[in-house]
Structure 1
Amino acid sequence: MLHRTLVTIKQKYPNEQIIFCNGGDRNDSNIPEMSVSGIDFKFSIGGEDKKNSSSWILKNWQGDSEE
């Protein structure tokens, strides 16, 4: 889904620089979005020491977080 979103954004703004940022646990070999042409990818945004992730947040929210 993210891949399709990036393609749509690039099509809508073909003459603009689009930058997609990733955290410290991602690199150019482990994200499928790298195949979208015309997008600049930046890595290790926020540092190498990962404090949290959307996956962890969602897992906690869906889990036994109610008391």
Structure 2
Amino acid sequence: MSNLPTPAEIIAKANAELNQAYRALGDARDWLLSDWDVQPTAEQAATIRRMREAIGTAKDAINEGRP
């Protein structure tokens, strides 16, 4: 008898990791939406926009990959 996981166990564990990643991306987005004590520079604002777009893309990809 093997100690290897079953396909169902592998899928469940992978899905749990996807859920954790999805939550972490939401936390990162929340930080980017936080109130600022000073306005970001133009370069920082561009970085924030790129990060928010990438987070949205990643969250969409996770949703597509979920069982």
- Asked if TM exceeds 0.5, the reply is no
For the superposition of Structure 1 and Structure 2, which TM-score range results when normalised by the shorter chain? Answer: under 0.3
Greater share of helix: 2
Greater length-normalized contact order (CA 8 Å, ≥ 6 residues apart) = 2
Q: Which has the larger radius of gyration?
A: 2
Greater share of strand: 1
Q: Normalised by the size of structure 1, how large is the TM-score?
A: 0.24
